[in-house]
A = this chain, B = another copy of it.
Amino acid sequence: MDTNDFRNGLLDAGVLVDAGSPGLYHRSGDYESVVRALESYVSEAGRDDSPVRLFIAPVINLETLEGSGYVGSFPNLIGTINSFDGDMKKLGEFRGRVDSGGEWSELMSHTDVALSSAACHSVYPMYRGVTLPIEGLRFEVLANCFRHEPSMDPARLQSFRLHEFVYLGDPDGALEFRERWIATARRLLGELGLVTDLVPANDPFFGRGAQMMVEGQLEKELKFEITASISSDTPGAIGSGNYHEDHFGLPYSMSTHDGHVAHSACFGFGLDRIALALYYAHGLRLEEWPAEVRERLGFDELLS
């Protein structure tokens, strides 16, 4: 099946509803049940790794976004939020443009808030200046994320859910955490009937210097993606394991118990992409999904 056929199938079956802009969809109750079932399924597997479980605010402050390093590296993907903050004179002009169908966006002012790009970005500022325990710290974080990359491929949404497990500690702990989660995730996803692969990967760095960043990331093996068919037979990433070295430990002054700069790692499940991959693999009607997949996701209970 090609991406267009799959997209049309999702829309015709009412799984997703076109929200009028590429990569924006309203979601049916069934689709949302799949995403929430995946959340529970993943949480259950991470129970030992999640003494701290947080649902991250979909809107974060600019300092957090800046601290993530995302602003400079992926300025084309981030979303900052504007609102109107003018005086009565400017309001008159604003309303005139709104009423006449004119361009009013440029009269908005930037605020101090932005959309989350990833769940883990909000964890690090909470531990600014902290000396970590010898065993490190572990977190489970979920977030509604935004990335501005309009596309007709349903595998590339502008607004989507990430479910991440995060480690802060020493380099060995970070690498061990990442490797363990990559293995766990492949098992979990395989048990849902998805055929996955594991590939070295890089982030989509932007503009001048991007090639060098990509090469560095690949050479140091900082990022691996778990891929599967999401919206066509061409595989895409449904999860990724990342070793950040001191990318967050340094700016946030986090130290290991023995006084070194903390390292960190995360594993992120792309909940919406996994949900789509399940629809792609098992069909558009939940009641026709394989019994063992339905059972693992706790569906017969959920849909009763």
Contacts and interface: CB of A to CB of B under 8 A. Distances in A.
**Which secondary structure characterizes the binding site on chain A?**
mixed
B55 A75 contact: no
Interface in A1-51: 17, 19-21, 24-29, 31-32, 36
Given A83-B79, A105-B80, A144-B144, A57 B95 contact: no
B26 A55 contact: yes
Contact of A110 (B75, B108, B122, B144): B108
A106 interface: yes
Interface stretch (A111-119, A221-229, A245-253, A280-288): A111-119
Interface stretch (A64-72, A129-137, A162-170, A234-242): A64-72
A108 to B, nearest CB: 6
In this complex, the member of A20, A111, A144 whose beta carbon has the largest number of chain B beta carbons within 10 angstroms is A20
Interface stretch (A85-93, A173-181, A183-191): A85-93
B88 A84 contact: no
A57 to B, nearest CB: 5
Contact of A57 (B83, B88, B98, B159): B159
B29 A53 contact: yes
B84 A158 contact: no
Contact of A148 (B64, B83, B207): B83
A107 to B, nearest CB: 9
A24 B59 CA distance: 7
> How many copies of this chain?
2
Contacts of A83: 75-80, 148
B99 A54 contact: no
Given A81-B146, A146-B81, A60 B113 contact: no
Nearest to A301: B301
A27 B57 CA distance: 7
Given A24-B113, A91-B207, A55 B71 contact: no
B58 A159 contact: yes
B54 A28 contact: yes
A293 interface: no
Contacts of A19: 56-57, 60-61, 64, 122
Interface of A: 17, 19-21, 24-29, 31-32, 36, 53-64, 66, 71-72, 75-85, 88, 91-92, 94-95, 98-99, 104-106, 108, 110-113, 115, 122, 125-126, 144, 146, 148, 158-159, 206-208
29 contacts: A19-B61, A20-B64, A20-B125, A21-B60, A21-B61, A24-B57, A24-B113, A26-B57, A26-B122, A36-B36, A57-B159, A58-B58, A59-B146, A62-B105, A72-B94, A72-B98, A75-B83, A75-B91, A75-B108, A77-B83, A79-B82, A79-B111, A80-B82, A80-B105, A81-B81, A81-B115, A83-B148, A91-B208, A95-B207
